């Protein structure tokens, strides 16, 4: 049942990409790959935002502990 659903979604999404392309995208050069990469990054960003709804999810969590380098006297 799940596999049937996934197959239907994949088939629906496979033909969709060619119709939604802007005019400047062409298969003859690198613009198609570049456009697809940008679309993938947009999708990934939207999924991340959808999964992380609170503002605290976007704070940078730094947990860096630095140690002073040992002097040569300690190494000998």
If we measure between CA atoms, which residue out of 25, 49, 45 comes closest to residue 35? Answer: 25
Query: Positive or negative CA dihedral for 26, 31, 35, 36?
Result: positive
Burial of 57 (0-12, 13-18, 19+ CB in 10 A): exposed
**pLDDT of the residue at 72:** 65
What φ, ψ does residue 19 adopt, rounded to 5°?
-75, -30
Token pair for 15? 């033909």
Domain ranges of the chain: 28-52
Each residue's pLDDT tens digit, 30-70: 999 999 999 999 999 999 888 888 877 777 777 777 776 66
- Mean pLDDT over residues 9-37, rounded? 80
> Residue 68: helix, strand or coil by DSSP?
coil
**pLDDT of the residue at 59:** 79
Contact at 8 Å (CB) between 58 and 52?
yes
């Amino acid at each position: 049942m799940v596999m049937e659903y996934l197959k239907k979604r994949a088939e629906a999404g496979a033909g969709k990409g060619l119709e939604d392309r802007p005019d400047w995208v062409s298969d003859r050069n690198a613009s198609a790959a570049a456009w697809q990469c940008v679309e993938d990054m947009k999708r990934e960003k939207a999924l991340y935002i959808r999964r992380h709804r609170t503002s605290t999810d976007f704070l940078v969590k730094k947990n860096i502990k630095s140690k002073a380098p040992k002097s040569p006297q300690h190494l000998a």
